[in-house]
Amino acid sequence: MIRTSTTTHYAHCPSPIGELLVLGDDQGRVTGLYVEGEPGAPAVESGWRHDPGASRPALDQLDAYFDGRLTDFDLELAPEGTAFQRQVWAALSEIPYAETLSYRDVAGELGRPRSSRAVGQANGRNPISVIVPCHRVIAADGTLGGYGWGLERKRWLLDHEARVAGRTLVSP
């Protein structure tokens, strides 16, 4: 078996929620998006290549998203995870802009109505946040629930989308 080596490309993206770290592979696919310094965010490794050009589509679309000019990302994604996690992340990507679903709703859409907790765990392991909109998943009672980057950032993202879409804000 021949193995091809894959170089991780990275770039930094300033945003209203903090400095983002965008990761990609040799095929130009996004493999990760993190707020630098937050739990779960990887440290830049010595073998990685700083290459904003390779990340240009993601950087441009993130800028447009945060400026309110983009509501649907159109990027090649390659998140690493289990088959179930990838199913959950695909379902998250189908949640319309400025709308929310509960963990129970997502579990139901996957045909696994009793797996709300597992959906929550997969949601929390989403390596491409914002682009794969895990912030659009809330608790069944309508509360925000948890968010790896903190509830203030989740609220900001939901309020941002509501403002752009002309909807009611999450927070006053």
Going from N- to C-terminal start, the domains of the chain cover: 9-66, 83-165
Return the CA Rg of the chain: 16
Q: Does the pLDDT value for residue 172 go beyond 80? A: no
Q: How far is CA 113 from CA 3, 57, 75, in A?
A: 39, 36, 30
What would be the CATH architecture of the domain defined by 83-165?
Answer: Orthogonal Bundle (1.10)
Tell me the C-alpha distance between 7 and 103, whole Å: 34
- Which residues participate in catalysis according to the annotation? 134
Average pLDDT over residues 47-68: 96
Report the alpha-carbon angle 68-161-99, nearest 5. 140
Report the alpha-carbon angle 42-48-52, nearest 5. 95
Q: Higher confidence at residue 64 or residue 146?
A: 64
Q: What is the pTM of this model?
A: 0.91
Q: Could you say which of 3.30.160, 1.20.1410, 2.10.110, 3.40.50 is the CATH number of the domain covering 9-66?
A: 3.30.160
Q: What is the dihedral of CA 107, 90, 39, 9, to 10 degrees?
A: 170
Selection from 51, 124, 47 nearest residue 88 by Cα: 124
Report the phi/psi class of residue 54: left, alpha or beta, with left for phi > 0 and alpha for psi in -120 to 50.
Answer: alpha
Tell me the C-alpha distance between 112 and 107, whole Å: 5
Give the pLDDT of residue 85: 97
pLDDT class of 171 with cuts at 50, 70, 90: low
Give the pLDDT of residue 138: 94
